[in-house]
Amino acid sequence: MKTRKLSELAKTIRSKNAGVNLITFDVIFTERSTYERVKEARVLTRETVGKLYRVPPERIVDFVEFDPANAIKFTIHRLRPSGSPGDPDIFGAQQYAPLLDIEVPTG
């Protein structure tokens, strides 16, 4: 089966703090049809994200398919609150990279 990378299909893939102890991830598509295709492919779910980030399910506090913005969004608990010693990403802004290479079946 043919696949394409999520980075080729999504307009925006980003991560950012949502408060001091959570990081939230947004994957936003321009076209409704692309968004629907990614949803149906089930490559971006609570389970796949947990596996990719090695995060147990209880640390994923929200997982939302947000139709108004053609977006898939999830939020994970930090290992330690933002800015604690050893926290390398105070804003949580560079945690999205592993999502870029997710393979989405296209045909």
Partner 1 sequence: MRSLRIICPNGHLGFAPIRVESFRLGVAARPDYIAADSGSDDVGPIPLGTDTSTSPLAWQTHDLEHMLLASRQLGVPMIIGSSGDTGADSRVELYVRIVKELAEKHRMPRFKLGYFHSEVGKDELRRRMRAGEAIEGLEGYATLTEEELDATERVVAMAGVHPFIKLLEEGADVIIGGRSSDSCVFAAPAIHHGFSEDLAYYLGKVLECASFCAEPYGGKETVLGEITPDAVFVTAMHPEQRCTVASVAGHAMYERSNPYFEHVAGGTLDMSDCRYEQVAEKTTRISGATFRRAAEFRVKLEGAGKIGERYVGMVGIRDPYTIAHVDEVIGWARDKVRERFGQENEGGYELCYTVYGRDGIMGEQEPLRDRPAHELCILVQGVAPTAAMAEELCMIGTRQMFYARLPDVKGSAGSVAFALDEVLRASPSYRWTINHTVRCDDPLELFPTHMTVAGV
Q: Which residues bind partner 1 (CB under 8 A)?
A: 12, 16-22, 24, 26, 28, 30, 52-55, 61-62, 64, 66, 68-71, 73, 75, 77, 79, 81-86, 88-91, 94-95, 97-98
Q: Report how far residue 66's alpha carbon sits from residue 10's, in angstroms, rounded to the nearest whole number.
A: 14
| Phi and psi angles of residue 31, each rounded to the nearest 5 degrees, phi first | -95, 135
Q: How far is the CB of 95 from partner 1 (least distance, A)?
A: 6
CB of 15 to partner 1, least distance (A): 10
Q: Are 24 and 73 in contact (CB under 8 A)?
A: yes
With CA atoms as reference, report the closest residue to 27 among 5, 2, 55. 5
Residue closer to partner 1 by CB (options 49, 104) is 49
Question: Please, which residue, 8 or 64, has the CB nearer to partner 1?
Answer: 64
Determine contact, residues 65/39, Cβ cutoff 8 Å.
Answer: yes
Provide, rounded to whole angstroms, the least separation between the CB of residue 13 and partner 1.
Answer: 12
